[in-house]
């Protein structure tokens, strides 16, 4: 065959291949965009998104406003607070120090923090802190924490004293209980071992080498270009999220980033640019399993169903929630897929979005979102009372275009309590108990509403039920103590 003809045929074949690849990417991107627009239309997502397939970005965009007061839109380069996605960066810094011989995973806290005094000092190891099996109570669950401490700045050394003397909730290593105190301690250990601030070590060891220029430790005082404001839902509208001093989330939740920078992070992890293969394996291997929870170091490791007939795929993921923001990074290593969702309007079910996006990438049927039943009934309960609220609830529950979400119903219940609509709040919490009877939290919330209403017997009943289902419910235990009903 003539060499020219052969080369031309090859070029045509390659052209056809790249054309099909482009069409594939365009088709997927359009489906993803349609899905996300529907989420935004229903008030279920407002933020920045990036999706990669086989290591290449196929979709990146923003929906809604980064700043609602000045009508500044979300973009792929909008900086969002990450919340607990921070933990994977802290875990990576710890593993780097292990590689350097400066830390040992199975040495106790006291080895690196000799001034740390308390039950955990000689029992809890770095390993326990990394996989949430320490038994140290999480400071964010302390009654009154947000009301009494969340606006005040602390040094790591001073804030550790807030929980250092706490009684361990269980024997270290015995079980998994998600814990912000553990990752706060890891940040403090990084500082003590290196002689530098957590922020400096992060910048030098991860952010600078990866050219992650739009990622960092968030400081309220810093003028930060393209920073998203955080909002929370208030019925059908939004309010500015309450202030939180970022010295408190610290190494457990104080970073900001963009979807574009988190794509760089994903690629760096894939290519072993930050950690050795053996350290990465430790990070991404379940270090503790409890029920359906499999936690490595700073990451959840699970399997995600793909459609009704296909096998599940491995997913390495972590979410985050912090005043006005909730976030998710989900990595699918088998296909080098990535979904990053950064939302600046408080809590929403990002896992459902990621599942649908993953299904789109693999030509599997996916569910479109439904309207929030909770957000629709909230103004009716608030403005028209119990009878009208219950009637609206019954009507919308029968409407297939609406969906009931436990967390959202819980939020509007507390919204009603804050507006002195106690009877209405009780009815909302009762709906949650009826619809989600396996959740200990719904009983705790109903107990609180009855306590506010002055109905002590009912409050005790539901608090006891919540503790029966979750013996680690510290709030319920404290409330029973206050009512002399242990």
**pLDDT tens for each residue of 281-306:** 999 999 999 988 999 999 999 987 66
Right CATH for 371-482 from 3.40.1350.10, 1.25.40.10, 3.30.565.10, 3.50.50.60: 1.25.40.10
CA–CA separation, 405 and 35 (whole Å): 19
CA–CA separation, 196 and 192 (whole Å): 7
Alpha helices in 254-372 (DSSP H): 259-270, 277-284, 350-361
Going from the C-alpha of 186 to that of each of 97, 127, 238, 293, the distances in angstroms are: 11, 10, 35, 22
- CA-based nearest residue to 118, from 162, 175, 72, 79: 162
Q: What string of DSSP letters covers 43-106?
A: TS--EEEEEEETTEEEEEEEESEEETTTTEEP-TT-BEE-GGGHHHHHHHHHHHHHHTTS--TT
Contact between 226 and 79 under an 8 Å Cβ cutoff? The reply is yes
| pLDDT value, residue 482 | 86
Helix axes 456-469, 474-482, angle to 10 degrees: 150
Rg (CA), the chain: 24
- CA-based nearest residue to 62, from 344, 264, 368, 320: 344
| pLDDT value, residue 3 | 52
CA–CA separation, 349 and 246 (whole Å): 24
| pLDDT value, residue 1 | 53
- CA-based nearest residue to 228, from 321, 343, 318: 343
- Regions of the chain short of the pLDDT cut 50: 4, 7, 10-11, 13-14, 16-23
Q: What are 189's two structure tokens? A: 């250990």
CA–CA separation, 429 and 433 (whole Å): 6
Beta strands 216-217 and 80-81, pairing class: unpaired
Query: The pTM is what?
Result: 0.86
């Amino acid at each position: 065959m003539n060499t020219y003809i052969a080369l031309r045929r090859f070029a045509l074949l390659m052209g056809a291949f790249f054309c099909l690849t482009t069409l594939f990417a365009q088709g997927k991107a359009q489906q993803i965009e349609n899905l996300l627009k529907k989420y935004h239309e229903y008030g279920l997502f407002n933020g920045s998104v990036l999706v990669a397939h086989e290591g290449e970005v196929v979709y990146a965009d923003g929906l809604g406003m980064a700043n609602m007061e000045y009508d500044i839109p979300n973009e792929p380069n909008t900086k969002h607070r990450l919340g607990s996605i921070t933990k994977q960066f802290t875990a990576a810094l710890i593993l780097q120090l292990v590689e350097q011989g400066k830390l040992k995973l199975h040495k106790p806290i006291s080895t690196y923090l000799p001034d740390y005094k308390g039950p955990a000092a000689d029992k809890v190891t770095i390993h326990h802190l990394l996989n949430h099996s320490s038994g140290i109570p999480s400071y964010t669950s302390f009654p009154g924490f947000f009301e009494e401490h969340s606006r005040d700045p602390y040094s790591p050394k001073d804030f550790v004293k807030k929980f250092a003397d706490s009684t361990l909730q269980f024997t270290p290593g015995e079980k998994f209980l998600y814990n912000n105190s553990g990752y706060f301690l890891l940040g403090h250990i990084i500082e003590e071992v290196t002689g530098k601030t957590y922020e400096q070590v992060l910048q030098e060891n991860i952010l600078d080498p990866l050219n992650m220029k739009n990622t960092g430790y968030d400081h309220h005082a810093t003028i930060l270009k393209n920073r998203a404001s955080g909002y929370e839902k208030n019925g059908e509208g939004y309010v500015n999220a309450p202030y939180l001093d970022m010295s408190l989330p610290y190494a457990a939740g104080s970073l900001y980033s963009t979807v574009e920078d988190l794509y760089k992070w994903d690629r760096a992890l894939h290519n072993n640019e930050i950690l050795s293969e053996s350290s990465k394996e430790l990070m991404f291997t379940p270090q503790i399993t409890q029920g359906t929870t499999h936690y490595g170091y700073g990451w959840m490791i699970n399997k995600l169903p793909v459609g009704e007939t296909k096998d599940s795929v491995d997913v390495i993921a972590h979410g985050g929630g912090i005043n006005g923001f909730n976030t998710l990074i989900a990595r699918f290593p088998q296909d080098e897929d990535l979904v990053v969702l950064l939302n600046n309007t408080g809590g929403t079910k990002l896992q459902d979005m990621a599942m649908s996006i993953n299904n789109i990438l693999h030509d599997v049927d996916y569910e479109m979102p439904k309207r929030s039943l909770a957000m629709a009934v909230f103004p009716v309960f608030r403005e028209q009372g119990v009878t009208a609220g219950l009637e609206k609830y019954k009507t919308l529950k029968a409407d297939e275009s609406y969906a009931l979400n436990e967390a959202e119903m819980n939020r509007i219940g507390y919204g009603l309590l804050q507006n002195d609509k106690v009877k209405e709040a009780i009815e909302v919490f009762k709906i949650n108990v009826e619809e989600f009877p396996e959740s200990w939290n719904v009983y705790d919330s109903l107990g609180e509403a009855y306590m506010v209403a002055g109905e002590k017997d009912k409050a005790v009943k539901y608090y006891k039920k919540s503790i029966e289902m979750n013996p680690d419910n510290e709030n319920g235990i404290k409330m029973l103590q206050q009512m002399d009903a242990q």
